[in-house]
Amino acid sequence: MRLLILGGTGPSGLQLIEQSLALNHAVVVYVRSPQKLPQTISSNPSVNIVVGELTDEEKLGAAMDGVHAVLSALGPAVKNGPFHPSDTPLARAYALLISIMKARDVRRLIALGTASMKDEHDKFSLEFSVLVGGVAVFAHNAYKDVVAIGETIRAAPPEELVWTIARVPLLTEKPDREVIAGYIGDGKTRTRLSRAAFAAFVLKEVEANEWCRKAPLISSP
């Protein structure tokens, strides 16, 4: 497959790129700061780097040429914390992305989400309520943007977009790739997930299409 990866310079995005290449996919990386990519990626002949902002319709459209699916690791930067912009910039970027996908006839999107995006299949969980509540209070703008991302993706007409939102709990740097997929409060999912496991789930899903138009909570066992 030819995959467009967004958020590729972050730790989760780098995992997506590296695992995509290991599976012999061709990768288009859309980045603002290409110097953040390691040389092992930037010099790989299977990687095409397109430099641009998430607001640049022309460059995003060019990056979409010949792409089979869009994989996104976009999310609020942890280091920004309470200083995330208040105007939901990531949700607006997704709205533009989805419109470009429609124009280019690219229908498959798998996006990083969080437990802040509620789902009708979720049940009560004290642990997750504390986690989400903390984010909502101490990083409210980021929380608002993440919630808006989920609303933006879900609002796309089903005949135009086949989406999966991979909602993640707290992310770790462990190498383990085993994943449990379910919903909050189902007795199976936990509050930790390795970034490697996130990438592994996304790349399995882009082939298997088991969670189309669903937003599972994925975690490590």
What confidence tens digit (pLDDT) does each residue in 135-168 have? Answer: 999 999 999 999 999 999 999 999 999 999 999 9
Mean predicted confidence (pLDDT) in 201-216:
99
Please tell me the predicted confidence (pLDDT) of residue 92: 98
- Percent of the chain whose pLDDT exceeds 70: 99
- Average predicted confidence (pLDDT) for the chain: 97
What pLDDT was estimated at residue 119?
98
Q: What is the pLDDT of residues 58-106, one digit of tens each?
A: 999 999 999 999 999 999 987 677 889 999 999 999 999 999 999 999 9
Dist CA 166 CA 198 (whole Å): 8
Is the distance from CB of 89 to CB of 146 less than 8 angstroms?
no
| CA pair distance 73, 126, nearest whole angstrom | 27
Check whether 6 has a pLDDT greater than 90. Answer: yes
pLDDT at 12 > cutoff 80: yes
Q: Region 21-31: what's the mean pLDDT?
A: 99
pLDDT value at 46 more than 80 = yes
Q: Is the pLDDT of residue 200 over 80?
A: yes
Question: What was the pLDDT predicted at 19?
Answer: 99
Domains of the chain: 2-219 (3.40.50.720)
- The candidate with the shortest Cα–Cα distance to 54, out of 43, 68, 70, is 70
What is the arithmetic mean of pLDDT over 14-34?
98
Average pLDDT for 38-62: 98
Residue 172's nearest CA partner among 202, 199, 197, 195 is 195
pLDDT at 214: 99
Q: At what angle do helices 195-208 and 11-22 cross, to 10 degrees?
A: 50
Measured CA to CA in angstroms, residue 5 lies from 87, 120, 137, 169, 201 at distances of 24, 28, 31, 21, 15
Percent of the chain clearing pLDDT 90 (strictly above): 97
pLDDT at residue 82, rounded to an integer: 80
Per-residue model confidence (pLDDT) at position 80? 77
**Residue type (1 letter), 196:** A
Structure tokens at 54: 């998430």
